């Protein structure tokens, strides 16, 4: 998708937004169509929660993951109307709101609302998107195989309910076991470009710079605490259990639009397996890194070089930028 008009929100404005109360935020959430997107930085650490050699979850930790929030504009009161971004008058630098806003702004007989700089049609820019682009502590979680109680792969239709339920369960597990506020860690889903049915869970700390919450969850003992807390929340050890989801477990005011699809039973088999899984550092299998590794290997001139490079890669350490670089003393 390409957008013609977009304006990065100045830092000052972004600062103000992080100060608003949750009431205001809620109003904002209902009032505007906002989407969030994650772009990994070049420096990630990779982990896997494994049972034997099988990976149950793949995780990557990114200390400066880029989270882009796009505000596509106010949601029209009539939900059938398209969302059409923001409108700006460049003559007076004012945002124009409302269905008749432009007509009123350009009408010089409208004493209340007219443009004081006598703006014309040419000064009006429509369909503007606002965005913020900030760096956060991020953990991306992938589930290589979603399976049911018998170990059989689940149906494609259940992929999204599964992932959303798992994301909610993990977030709540983090909140309880690490004593984290509801606003401190959030998640977004990132659709897999190769398979639109599948999504990754992207957890991010909302404060820029990070408080170390997400960095800690790849520690085996903390990871297990989060999983066991998630199981408690999902009524695993209770007599009285809800059918799919309730306000005691997965449902809350903010995820109302997902209440119909949340189903704790979908993720229980996976969480039970995670309870005894090992969490290990693994090599980076993202295409960019694999290509780079293969390129470096092809340039190796001895088997020792190959061995060292392979070990660096297997242990998930950062690869050298280049190979066979000649460093000369008199280099200018
Ligand atoms: Zn104007
Ligand atoms: Zn429940």
| Average pLDDT rounded to a whole number, residues 210-218 | 90
C-alpha closest to that of 143 among 272, 40, 267: 267
Q: Which residues pair with 153 in a beta bridge?
A: 147
Q: How is the chain split into domains, by residue range?
A: 22-66+136-281, 285-324
Q: How far is the CA of 246 from the centre of ligand 2 (A)?
A: 4
Please tell me the number of the ligand nearest to residue 110's CA.
Answer: 1
Task: Give the Å distances, CA to CA, from 105 to 86, 95, 101, 300.
Answer: 14, 10, 6, 68
Question: Helix (H) and strand (E) counts for the chain?
Answer: 9, 10
Q: How far is the CA of 81 from the centre of ligand 1 (A)?
A: 25
Please tell me the number of the ligand nearest to residue 246's CA.
Answer: 2
Is pLDDT of 280 > 50? yes
Instruction: Give me the pLDDT at residue 314, please.
Output: 79
Helix (H) or strand (E) holding 58: strand 54-74
Is pLDDT of 279 > 80? yes
Determine the Cα–Cα distance for residues 59 and 86; give it in Å rounded to an integer: 37
Q: Is 214 exposed, middle or buried (0-12, 13-18, 19+ CB in 10 A)?
A: buried
Q: Catalogue the E-assigned strands of 106-252.
A: 124-142, 185-192, 195-205
Determine the Cα–Cα distance for residues 299 and 33; give it in Å rounded to an integer: 49
CB burial of 114-129 (b: ≥16 within 10 Å; e: otherwise) equals bbeeebeeebbbebbb
Residues lining ion ligand 1 (Cβ < 5 A) are 89, 91-92, 115, 119
Instruction: Give me the pLDDT at residue 168, please.
Output: 97
Q: What is the dihedral sign for C-alpha 198, 203, 209, 214? A: negative
3 state DSSP class of 169: helix
Q: How far is the CA of 169 from the centre of ligand 2 (A)?
A: 11
3 state DSSP class of 167: helix
Q: How far is the CA of 119 from the centre of ligand 1 (A)?
A: 5
Mean of the per-residue pLDDT values of the chain: 87
Instruction: Give me the pLDDT at residue 8, please.
Output: 78
Percent of the chain with pLDDT over 70: 91
Is pLDDT of 14 > 60? no
pLDDT tens digits for range 107-134: 999 998 999 999 999 999 999 999 999 9
| Average pLDDT rounded to a whole number, residues 286-305 | 84
Q: How far is the CA of 90 from the centre of ligand 1 (A)?
A: 6
Q: How far is the CA of 88 from the centre of ligand 1 (A)?
A: 8
Is pLDDT of 11 > 60? no
Please tell me the number of the ligand nearest to residue 118's CA.
Answer: 1
pLDDT tens digits for range 197-209: 899 999 999 988 7
Which residue did the predictor score with more confidence, 19 or 224?
Answer: 224
Q: Are 236 and 218 in contact (CB under 8 A)?
A: no
Is pLDDT of 136 > 60? yes
Complex-level ipTM: 0.82
Determine the Cα–Cα distance for residues 24 and 292; give it in Å rounded to an integer: 46
Q: 63: how many CB neighbours lie within 10 A of its CB?
A: 17
Q: How far is the CA of 73 from the centre of ligand 1 (A)?
A: 19
3 state DSSP class of 6: strand
Instruction: Give me the pLDDT at residue 330, please.
Output: 64
The DSSP-derived string for 223-256 is HHHHHHHHHHHTTTT-SS--SS--TTTT--GGGG
| Average pLDDT rounded to a whole number, residues 302-315 | 84
Please tell me the number of the ligand nearest to residue 87's CA.
Answer: 1
Instruction: Give me the pLDDT at residue 191, please.
Output: 92
What do you get for the CA distance between the two ends of the chain, in Å?
Answer: 44
Please tell me the number of the ligand nearest to residue 88's CA.
Answer: 1
Is pLDDT of 294 > 80? yes
């Amino acid at each position: 998708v390409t957008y013609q008009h977009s304006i990065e929100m100045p830092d000052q404005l972004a600062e103000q937004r992080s100060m608003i109360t949750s009431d205001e935020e809620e109003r904002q959430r209902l009032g505007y169509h906002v989407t969030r997107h994650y772009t990994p930085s070049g420096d990630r650490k990779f982990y896997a929660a494994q049972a034997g050699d099988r990976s149950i979850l793949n995780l990557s930790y990114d200390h400066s993951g880029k989270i882009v929030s796009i505000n596509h504009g106010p949601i029209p009161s009539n939900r059938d109307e398209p969302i059409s971004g923001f409108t700006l008058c460049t003559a007076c630098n004012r945002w124009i709101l409302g269905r008749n806003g432009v007509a009123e702004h350009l009408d010089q007989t409208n004493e209340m609302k007219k443009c004081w700089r006598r703006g014309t049609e040419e000064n009006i820019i429509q369909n503007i998107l606002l965005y913020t682009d900030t760096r956060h502590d991020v953990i991306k979680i992938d589930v290589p195989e979603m399976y049911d109680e018998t170990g059989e792969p689940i149906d494609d239709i259940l992929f999204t309910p599964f992932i959303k339920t798992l994301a909610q369960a993990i977030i709540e597990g983090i909140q309880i076991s690490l004593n984290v506020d509801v606003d401190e860690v959030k998640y977004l889903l990132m659709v897999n470009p190769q398979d639109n049915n599948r999504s990754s869970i992207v957890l991010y700390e909302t404060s820029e710079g990070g408080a170390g919450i997400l960095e800690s969850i790849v520690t085996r003992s903390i990871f297990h605490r989060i999983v066991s807390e998630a199981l408690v929340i999902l009524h695993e050890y209770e007599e009285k259990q809800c059918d799919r989801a309730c306000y005691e477990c997965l449902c809350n005011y903010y995820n109302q639009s997902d209440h119909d699809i949340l189903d704790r039973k979908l993720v229980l088999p996976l969480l039970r397996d995670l309870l005894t899984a090992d969490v290990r550092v693994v090599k980076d299998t993202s295409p960019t890194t694999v290509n780079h590794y293969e390129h470096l290997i092809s340039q190796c001139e001895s088997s020792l070089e190959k061995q060292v490079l392979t070990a660096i890669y297997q242990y998930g350490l950062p690869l050298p930028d280049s190979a066979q670089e000649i460093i000369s003393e008199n280099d200018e």
